[in-house]
Each structure stands twice: as structure tokens, then as C-alpha cells.
């Protein structure tokens, strides 16, 4: 079984090829054009996807060493994401599947992030978590605690009521004038700073839900005060600021995750999404494994941010279940797991 996966929900155009669930290629074109704007500009993202989709799919097939006629099905991200971006991948996938006369498989982007844990790089790769497990899904647009009962049965136990963790990091980085995306920049600076140098407001939200908008505001207001006394405050303290911000976010994330583990009594705990690239969060997972006896699952860096390998593997499982998509199903932008 050969599956082609296509991802175009935000600002990465990605294509991957899998043979019997084993990854053969994963090619991603990231869009540099947004850097100048400090965030993703939807119209520019759609245009770049248009430019990239054919060469990226072509490369993925070449690197996998197969012809398109050998494909068994095409899996694509149907949503959630930016509508203009999704439309490019969705329309391309539909056209290609129709012309080859093979099935189409729609994949939910968030389910895909979680399914990154099932990507196999070889036949003897058995690193996937056993079911059920708990997954902390932290990306640019979402922060959720998910109970994974099966690949097609994911239960959202808690989620952010406002901003996502990645969004908060990106916005604080922007306020500091550090550039976009802020995640990797904050991560790098944080390693040289003191995580206890500054304190920022932590939310008090009941249950397993998150909130990050208060932290963002607290960060902004604190900076404004400090800059009054020292106009070069950010430049002089950026490492400590980054470390303290990262510490606060990781602390918020792990508190609720501990509660979820306690409530479900499931100690197999995974992390997924772009923010799972963060070293502070990865360290916190290792500490929790030691302290609380968790078995942890941390994806390879290349499978944390948006990629087509995660779409391909989800598509592969759906293919085995004959779970196909009809050509009239439209893309959707709204956040849902279904």
C-alpha cells in the first residue's frame, strides 16, 4: 500500500509517501515570506502553496522512488486551518486522486499531530505508545489534553479557553521584537537565562482547561513598566525574560497534565504539536517520567511542527478501514476533532 499525504493547513506545504505505513519521504517547503510581517499572512500563504504544491509532491514521489501510478490513495488535510491554504491542498488532492482513479482520504490536522507518534521510519520501529494514552497537543493554534482511545477515537479532556500556548510564545516574542515564529527563538534564549528571574500571572481555570491570554497581557504590562526605568531593558534581559516566560508556560501545561493523569490513571503520556519541539517542555516530560513513573513519548523534531508524514500515517490507518472521503466534502477551518 502506497499512500501520498498532503498538508497545507497553514504556512508549510508538505508531501509524504508511505509504504505499508513506513515513511519513505517527507518533503516540506516552509514559507519565509511571513517573517517580515511577524505572523502568517493568509493571502500570501495561499499564493505560496500554489507555487509549492506541485514541486513538493513531485519531490516526495522522487525521493520515495515511486511513480504516481503506484499510489493506492491520497490523504490530505481537510481542516482545521486557514481556508485559503487548505483549499490549495484539498483541490490538488481531489484533482490528482480523480485523475489517477484512486481513493481520497480526508485527515483532521489535529488528529494528524497526535498521530505523529505512529509514524514508522522502518519496519522494526516500535516506538508508538500503547492505547489508551494521554497526549498533550500544543501547537500554534491549539492547546489540548487528549485521551487517545484509538487512532479514530480521540477524546478532548481539556483545552484552552482563549489563546494557544504557541500563540502566547509567538506574541510575547513579537512584543520583545525578536521575530517570527517566536517559539524557536525563545527556546534558544531561554537556555542561557534564569527561569526564576521574573514572575508572570498564572491562570486559575477549573478542571483540565487552559488559558494563556492573561499571561500574555501580564508579560506585556510588566515589560512596559520595566522599560520605563530602562529603555534597553529587553536587550539587557532577553535571556532571563525568555527563560521565565518558558518556565511559566511549561508550568501551566504540566499542572493540568498531572491532573489529567491522576483523573484517568493513564501513565502513558505523549506530547505533540509545534510547541513539543521546546526543550524546556521536553525536559519537564523527562522529569515527570522520573518523578511520577510516567512512560513518555516525545516525537522527533521533524514531526512536531506541520508535516505531511503525520497526515500520511493517519491516512494509512483510515485506508485499512476503507474510510474514504467523497469528492464533494469541502475544506473546513473551524477547530474540531471530527
Task: Give residues in contact with Fe ion (CB under 5 A).
Answer: 139, 306
Q: Is 140 annotated as a binding residue?
A: yes
Report in angstroms how near the CB of residue 117 gets to Fe ion at its nearest. Answer: 15
Report in angstroms how near the CB of residue 187 gets to ligand ATP at its nearest. Answer: 4
- Evaluate the omega torsion of the peptide bond into residue 279 and state whether it is cis, within 30 degrees of 0: no
Q: Is 61 annotated as a binding residue?
A: no
Q: Is 187 annotated as a binding residue?
A: yes
Nearest CB to ligand ATP, comparing residues 57 and 169: 169
> Residue 134 forms beta bridges with which residues?
147, 269
Q: Is 139 annotated as a binding residue?
A: yes
What does 112 bind: Fe ion, ligand ATP, none (CB cut-off 5 to 8 Å by kind)? Answer: none
Sign of CA dihedral 77, 146, 164, 138: negative
Nearest CB to ligand ATP, comparing residues 86 and 97: 86
Q: Which residue number is nearest to ligand ATP in terms of Cβ?
A: 274
Report in angstroms how near the CB of residue 142 gets to ligand ATP at its nearest. Answer: 4
**194 grid coordinates:** 534564569
Assign 283 to helix, strand or coil. Answer: helix
| Integer Cα distance of 136 and 159 in angstroms | 10
Length of the chain: 338
Q: Is 251 annotated as a binding residue?
A: no
What does 307 bind: ligand ATP, Fe ion, none (CB cut-off 5 to 8 Å by kind)? Answer: none
Scored b (16 or more CB within 10 A) or e, 203-238 reads bebeebbbbbebbbebbeebbeebeeeeeebbeebb
Q: Which DSSP category does 225 fall into?
A: H
Report in angstroms how near the CB of residue 87 gets to ligand ATP at its nearest. Answer: 16
Q: In what order do the strands lie in the sheet with 22-30?
A: 22-30, 12-19, 2-7, 73-79, 104-108
Nearest CB to ligand ATP, comparing residues 223 and 275: 275
What does 184 bind: Fe ion, ligand ATP, none (CB cut-off 5 to 8 Å by kind)? Answer: ligand ATP
Nearest CB to ligand ATP, comparing residues 4 and 277: 277
Scored b (16 or more CB within 10 A) or e, 72-99 reads bbbbbbbbbbbbbbbbbbbebbbebbee
Report in angstroms how near the CB of residue 333 gets to ligand ATP at its nearest. Answer: 10
What does 275 bind: ligand ATP, Fe ion, none (CB cut-off 5 to 8 Å by kind)? Answer: ligand ATP
**244 grid coordinates:** 521565565
Q: Which DSSP category does 306 fall into?
A: S
Nearest CB to Fe ion, comparing residues 240 and 306: 306
Q: Which DSSP category does 303 fall into?
A: G
* Site residues, ligand ATP (CB under 6 A): 9-10, 81, 109, 113, 139-142, 166, 169-170, 181-184, 187, 273-275, 277-278, 305-306
Report in angstroms how near the CB of residue 275 gets to ligand ATP at its nearest. Answer: 4
| Integer Cα distance of 261 and 259 in angstroms | 5
Q: Is 183 annotated as a binding residue?
A: yes
Nearest CB to Fe ion, comparing residues 247 and 303: 303
Binding site residue list for substrate: 137-141, 170, 183, 187, 278
Binding site residue list: 109, 113, 137-141, 170, 183, 187, 278, 306
Amino acid at each position: 500500500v502506497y499512500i501520498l499525504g498532503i498538508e497545507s493547513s497553514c504556512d508549510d506545504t508538505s508531501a509524504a509517501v508511505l509504504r505499508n505505513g513506513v515513511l519513505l519521504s517527507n518533503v516540506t517547503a516552509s514559507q519565509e515570506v511571513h517573517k517580515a510581517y511577524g505572523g502568517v499572512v493568509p493571502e500570501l500563504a495561499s499564493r505560496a502553496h500554489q507555487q509549492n504544491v506541485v514541486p513538493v509532491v513531485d519531490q516526495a514521489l522522487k525521493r520515495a522512488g515511486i511513480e504516481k501510478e503506484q499510489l493506492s490513495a491520497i490523504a490530505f488535510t481537510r481542516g482545521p486551518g486557514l481556508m485559503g491554504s487548505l483549499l490549495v491542498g484539498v483541490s490538488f488532492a481531489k484533482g490528482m486522486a480523480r485523475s489517477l482513479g484512486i481513493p481520497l482520504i480526508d485527515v483532521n490536522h489535529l488528529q494528524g499531530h497526535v498521530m505523529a507518534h505512529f509514524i514508522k521510519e522502518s519496519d522494526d520501529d516500535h516506538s508508538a505508545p500503547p492505547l489508551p494514552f494521554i497526549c498533550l497537543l500544543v501547537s500554534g493554534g491549539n492547546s489540548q489534553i487528549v485521551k487517545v482511545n484509538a487512532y479514530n477515537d480521540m477524546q478532548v479532556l481539556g483545552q484552552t479557553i482563549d489563546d494557544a500556548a504557541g500563540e502566547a510564545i509567538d506574541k510575547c516574542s513579537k512584543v520583545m521584537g525578536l521575530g517570527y515564529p517566536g517559539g524557536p527563538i525563545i527556546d534558544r534564549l531561554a537556555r542561557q537565562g534564569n527561569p526564576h528571574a521574573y514572575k508572570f500571572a498564572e491562570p486559575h481555570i477549573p478542571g483540565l482547561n487552559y488559558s494563556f491570554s492573561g499571561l500574555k497581557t501580564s508579560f506585556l504590562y510588566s515589560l512596559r513598566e520595566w522599560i520605563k526605568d530602562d529603555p534597553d531593558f529587553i536587550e539587557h534581559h532577553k535571556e532571563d525574560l525568555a527563560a521565565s516566560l518558558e518556565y511559566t508556560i511549561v508550568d501551566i501545561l504540566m499542572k493540568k497534565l498531572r491532573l489529567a493523569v491522576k483523573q484517568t490513571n493513564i501513565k502513558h503520556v505523549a506530547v505533540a504539536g509545534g510547541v513539543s519541539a521546546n526543550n524546556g517542555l521536553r525536559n519537564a516530560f523527562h522529569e515527570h517520567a522520573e518523578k511520577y513513573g510516567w512512560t513518555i513519548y516525545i516525537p522527533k523534531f521533524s514531526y512536531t511542527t506541520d508535516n505531511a508524514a503525520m497526515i500520511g500515517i493517519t491516512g494509512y490507518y483510515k485506508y485499512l478501514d476503507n474510510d474514504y472521503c467523497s469528492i464533494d466534502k469541502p475544506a473546513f477551518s473551524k477547530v474540531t476533532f471530527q
